[in-house]
Structure 1
Amino acid sequence: MYEWRKLAGWGGGIVWGDRGYMWLAGPPVGPPVVDPEAVAQAVLDGMGLEPVQIGMAPKPLEQVADSVGLVGAPAWMWVENPGPTTWGPITDSGSEGGVTVTVTAQVEDIVWNMGDGTSVTCDSPGDAYRQSLGVRESPSCGHRYERTSRDQAGQAYTVTATTNWSAEWEASTGASGTLEVDPLSSSVQVRIGERQLIEQ
């Protein structure tokens, strides 16, 4: 047997109103307990994070079908579309049961698997190559191939760019923490040849 009491407004304040007794088979159920980390995960899932679009010099075969880079020449890698959903930072909030949780996510680094057994880790979106720059090293994210892609499938290397994200959350209750974010990847094909010198 449980006693119940009702709150009522009176004269601009809150006072006890009606009261009574009732029988319940079990203890009364209180308001649900909000898990701020679960709210944060829901916010993160709704952010729509995306893999990057790859920029490279030499150009990927998907952009220029007859593009060929050279062994020993500097290759440049960069992110074509850096923005909130591909690089961050991106911030969003969600609420449940009177608790508001704010999540901020951003890329920590990008790992370039060059297809030749090597990888390059860069902590920036990189610099886009322009023809006027000539033959020079990328100031932020580059590679040099030491052998041709002749023995690869399609005679091209598969280059994969994987972004590693971090996400932090903070609740209106003062609780905070971090969330795991699955890495996001995209790939292109790059053909590498070698310069042929003819002696006369």
Structure 2
Amino acid sequence: MLNFKFPFEKSQDKQISNFKFANGFTLIELLVVFSLIAVITGIGLVSLVSYSRGQMVKQAAAEVKQMIDLAKFNSLSFVKPESCTDALAGYKLDFCANTLCQRANVDYEIVVLCTTDDPVVQFRNFPSNISTNNIGLSEPCTSITFNINKQTQGIPCEINVAGYNNQVKLSVDSVGYVTY
């Protein structure tokens, strides 16, 4: 067996024997790691808040669609609440701009149309910082009426549900079908 000796072999052994392994991390390494964790957490938190706010606007738009569908269904199904003592004429969904609604401090409401009086069946408010606007709409919705004889008034129209720099546009066609 051949045994080769290299001239730098002793110097390598000397360097290894003099090297001491450190226990733990340096302060700089810890600062870098914690700084990176803080930056990544901050970016994730901002994304989560933005996503959450977008979902709030989408949920508010879904509730508006649900109210339109409920008014249409109740009218076509002749659902007459006990508060309507006269003949049922239909249902109306009012978007409360200024003084259009019967109740104060309400964003939109469903009103049952009776012969003599029109009691409010349901009403809703948007979450804080969410509202409707008519910006850029060709035919904004103010009031949608579904009569029991399948006649409609106030449609086709459009509704913008906006908040937190997000916007959902609802379109109601001539038969009351809502898309967004």
TM-score, with normalisation over the residues of structure 1? Answer: 0.30
Query: Looking at both structures, which has the greater relative contact order when contacts are Cα pairs under 8 Å and sequence separation is at least 6?
Result: 1
Structure number with higher helix proportion: 2
Higher CA-based Rg: 2
Structure number with higher strand proportion: 1
